[in-house]
Amino acid sequence: MTGSTPDVIVARGLAVGHGGVPVVPDIELTVRARSSLALVGTNGSGKSTLLKTMVGLVPIVAGELRVLGERPGGAPRQIAYLAQFHAAGFILPLRAIEVVRMGRYPNLGLFGRMRTEDHDLVAWALETMDVADLARLPLRSLSGGQQQRVYLAQVLARRADLVVLDEPTAGLDAGGRERYLEAFAGELARGAAIVTATHDIAEAVEYDQVLLLARRVVALGPGAEVLTADRLLDTFGIVIRDPHAHHAGRFVVAERAHGAPQVIDIERPPD
């Protein structure tokens, strides 16, 4: 890897889905190192399926997908993945620090011993997500937001070249969100590529690329270009717009269960 920005993800004519049935066809995208991609779409739009395909959990339906130069799942040491749901959190007798240590397992394998640098990475990750003081508490005694910070610390401890996150800010409070944004800016600066599924338009604007999904590719491009009222309407069905704000974060979206797509302008009294 001589270039400063190698391709981390390359998809050509990719179709993702379950059991050979495509959910999203014809995906063309390239994600390079030090760059970020946000997947924006409703529940069931194919965001999670695409993420799972990238990390090798779901087989490709059609087309081509190279991840870190390999087939998906071929480079486990270089990939960190955080799923949307964590069912086991309340049953397992685990302390927060053990969850973060799991982030080092791909590099350690079955027999490798945790070395000083591994312990340092774990401590740094806990510190970065501001959960160092919770490290020795049982995971099941933590709140949902605290648990999410611990899971994000596990991702940081991984030191991955590709970080794949499914709704990482769900359940985080304002402080947690701030920590998360700082930490993942740091991951980008370190050279990692980040792919995130999100509902949050204001957050998506910050990404280098945004992929709008609605069981098809609605649009792909820089956030400011892609996140327009028309395209969001295409994706979600209801767009609430603040005409007085001037950045793309002025949109709030909602899923339309039935009826025609709709743009709602916020009426504000004149100053």
Partner 1 sequence: MGPLFDPFLDNEFMLRALLAGILVSISCAIVGTFVVLRGLAFIGDALAHGVLPGIAGAALLGLPGILGAAVGALAMIAGVSLVTRLTRLSSDTAIGLLFVSMLALGVVIVSGSSSFAGDLVGILFGQILGTSVEDVLVQAVAVVVIAVIAAICARPFLLLSFDPEQADVAGFPSRRYHAIMLLLIALTVIVSFQTVGTLLVFGMLLAPAGAGALLAHRIERMMAWAAAIGALSTYLGLLLSYHLDVAAAATIVLVAAAIFFVVLAVTNLRDQAPAWAAPRSGERDRP
Which CB sits closer to partner 1, 5 or 141? 141
Per-residue DSSP letters for 74-122? S-GGGEEEE-S--GGGGTS--BHHHHHHGGGHHHHTTTPPP-HHHHHHH
DSSP 8-class letter at 170 = T
Does 56 engage in binding with partner 1 (CB under 8 A)? yes
List CB contacts of 232: < 8 A, sequence separation 6 or more: 201, 212, 239, 251, 253
Does 95 engage in binding with partner 1 (CB under 8 A)? yes
* Dihedrals phi, psi of 147, to nearest 5 degrees: -60, -40
Which CB sits closer to partner 1, 99 or 183? 99
Binding-site member from 30, 66, 71, 98 for partner 1 (CB under 8 A): 98
Write the interaction track for partner 1 spanning residues 136-175; mark x where CB under 8 A is met and - where it is not.
xxx--x----------------------------------
Does 247 engage in binding with partner 1 (CB under 8 A)? no
Shortest Å distance, C-beta 139 to partner 1? 8
Give the helix, strand, coil percentages of the chain, each rounded to 5. Answer: 35, 30, 35
Q: Are 157 and 125 in contact (CB under 8 A)?
A: yes
In the complex, which residues of this chain contact partner 1 (CB under 8 A)? 52, 55-57, 73, 76-77, 79-81, 83, 86-88, 91-95, 98-99, 102, 105-106, 108-111, 135-138, 141
